[in-house]
Structure 1
Amino acid sequence: MAYNITLIPGDGIGPEIVAEAVKVLDKVADKFNHSFLFTKILMGGCSIDEYGVPLTDEAIEIAKNSDAVLLGAVGGNVGNSRWYDVAPNLRPEAGLLKIRKELQLFANLRPAYLYKELQKACPLKEEIIGDGFDMVIVRELTGGLYFGERETKKVNGVETAIDTLSYNENEIRRIAIKAFEIAMKRRKKVTLVDKANVLDSSRLWRKVVAEVSKEYSEVELVYMLVDNCAMQLVMNPAQFDVILTENMFGDILSDEASMITGSIGMLSSASLGKSKLGLYEPSHGSAPDIAGQNKANPIATILSAAMLLRYSLNLTKEADAIEEAVAKVLSEGYRTVDIADSDCEKIVGTKEMGSLIADRI
């Protein structure tokens, strides 16, 4: 069967890691008798250079008419880039916010799993790691501070910046349902992370999520303040199954979770809506300091491609094959530099890691 996949290589290391994911997807297509038709579009700094905007309407239409979208990374060095000396809506990351909104992707799934082979790369002590951890962070993606009204103005002669955080019950309910559905397929525990001791928006989250939880009596619901959650992630990560939270909290916590897996280069993600169309991307940034040097870890992007197969194309066996290939390569001792310990003798580059994983499918 043929599937249309939109590719957004993006900026920095984006083109390199997307190329390796495509290499793996091509191997899947050969082995399982599928046809993946790839169409590239520009987004981020490269789109600004070409068109003057981070994402064109034409690019959005191509993405909308595909079965899934695979993204590398967008942006550059904020303090040292021509892309940032402009209005916020013209900066590279504005393209990412726009495509999420246009594709109506309100749920971001970020698995954080510690491979046994990478325990030495985990910065936590062995007694904290224990038998490892396996969690999914479900982050609301189209509301909150990132999409609220904002302005900078003079107030009584003092320059003042205002960012508005707002959520309505419908936005909260739909992401809560996603989280509980995921929990039902896992260990049946949802931890709602908020700041309900301070924020009205968090208190609404608690009210709506409690209502949703009544429809999932098998799932345990736990409430946790965001500052405590940040601490618990490095004290006892194994306690978490599904973490449900709002946009900004999820952005921060998922990066923290990625580091305790050994490297942010290991964390995949899926952004989903009501339809099968989803946007899949690694959780790390564009890393312009190592772009073009064959140093980037492509595993997060390759695992994102596996999520693409699983959630948008319903190709479960094929997704399993990619994840098993990644585990096999790691078990054989191969590492990119970001996940290598001092004793590692099999350090490989971006291209080599992609080829190794493809060869084991």
Structure 2
Amino acid sequence: MRARIVFAWDTPRARSLQAQVQQVLSDVAVAFGHSFVMKDERMGVASVEAYGSAMTVETVEACQEADATLAVLTHPDGLLELAQGLSCVLACHLYEEWPAGCDVPLASGLMPQGVICYPLYADERLRDAAELAYALSGHGRVREIPFDGSLRENWLAATQALSARYTTTLPVQVTLNDVLASLIADPTGLGVVFAKPQAAQTLAAAADALCGGLPGHQRFMGDKCLHAYVDSQAGVNSLSPSALAAAANLLRTSLNLVREADCVLAATANVQQTAPEGGLGIDAWERISQQIALAGELLHPKG
């Protein structure tokens, strides 16, 4: 397969993760006989000063011409303009657990439609999820399918402090049927919904059905645009799990290379199982790369 991929990044930290993603894709291309032409686009500081946005027309046009785009950012500046330029109209992510290392200001820059969260966390992670909901409230509604008992108490405790900062935001209580009806009428206006697991699964399935049957646990923003969080926990010399997840998602979602994506995830899991405390050490990438190459050789023997 021949594919053109554009990477957008903004800071040296994001560039480091982008380089790791690019290395994953390069090894996959060699192992499976693909040809990936990869191009970098830096989100411009000068553009922010001149136009109020980090996204330039040239970058949007480059992404429009590409087969896949991966934005690896530490700040949300320019992200909405990029998504709009690529006609990305719906993002749906079902969070079973708040992503480790997820930066709330970064996440708030994502397209807000269809962020569905399980309100099952405790303490800090629930507060992070609540803050994301309020941060997104400037772009979409915050709706809540009522839950009770300890879940309700945890949610009220998490939002109590936020209410003083976001005085114009009041979560609206709705029924599952109300949300489903609005989703069918306007798939781009789902907004932010907090719900119990069963209701969240139902909404994710409905959003998937309306947008081509993509997996409910993946964020999708049209055919080309995919986003990765910069993992602040990763050391300078260590391989970030975010890079592997981003590469696998791009292969699966944007390029429809399911087998290759499964190979990356399987190789990662194999290395994690043998690493101290299930982590990824300095030599992790070399070991993962060897497993990807072995899988490619088994599937496409040379000679």
Q: Do they fold alike, i.e. is TM over 0.5?
A: yes
Structure 1 equivalent of residue 281 of structure 2? 348
Letter in 2 for 1:105: C
Q: Which runs of 4+ in 1 moved over 4 A?
A: 109-114, 163-167, 196-200, 210-213
Structure 2 equivalent of residue 34 of structure 1? 34
DSSP-derived class of the 2:78 partner: helix
8 A contact 2:248–2:262 mirrored in 1? yes
Structure-2 change in CA distance of 1:2 and 1:240 (3 Å): same
In 1, the alpha carbon distance for the partners of 2:40 and 2:88 equals 20
Q: 1:323 aligns with which of 261, 265, 277?
A: 265
Structure-2 change in CA distance of 1:240 and 1:211 (3 Å): closer
Q: 2:88 aligns with which of 84, 105, 119?
A: 105
In 1, the alpha carbon distance for the partners of 2:57 and 2:287 equals 37
Letter in 1 for 2:87: Q
Structure 1 equivalent of residue 130 of structure 2? none
Alpha-carbon distance, 1:17 to partner: 1.4
In 2, the alpha carbon distance for the partners of 1:106 and 1:205 equals 22
Where in structure 2 are there 5+ consecutive unaligned residues?
101-109, 115-136, 147-169, 185-192, 205-216, 293-303
Q: 1:209 aligns with which of 169, 176, 180?
A: 180
In 1, the alpha carbon distance for the partners of 2:234 and 2:241 equals 16
TM-score by length of 1: 0.49
Letter in 2 for 1:96: L
Cα RMSD, aligned residues only: 3.9
In 2, the alpha carbon distance for the partners of 1:360 and 1:194 equals 45
Alpha-carbon distance, 1:301 to partner: 2.2
Q: Would you tell me which structure has more strand in proportion to its own residues?
A: 1
Structure 2 equivalent of residue 195 of structure 1? 144
In 2, the alpha carbon distance for the partners of 1:290 and 1:212 equals 38
Alpha-carbon distance, 1:309 to partner: 1.0
In 1, the alpha carbon distance for the partners of 2:55 and 2:176 equals 32
How many equivalent pairs are there? 214
1:157-196 → structure 2 map (5 Å cutoff): 166=140, 194-195=143-144
Structure 1, residues 239-262: CA drift from partner, whole Å, max 9, x if none? 7983758xxxxxxxxxxxxxxxxx
Structure 1 equivalent of residue 129 of structure 2? none
Structure-2 change in CA distance of 1:207 and 1:166 (3 Å): same
Structure 2 equivalent of residue 304 of structure 1? 246
DSSP-derived class of the 1:104 partner: coil
Structure-2 change in CA distance of 1:353 and 1:108 (3 Å): farther
Identical columns (%): 23
TM-score by length of 2: 0.57
Structure 1 equivalent of residue 111 of structure 2? 141
In 2, the alpha carbon distance for the partners of 1:307 and 1:66 equals 16
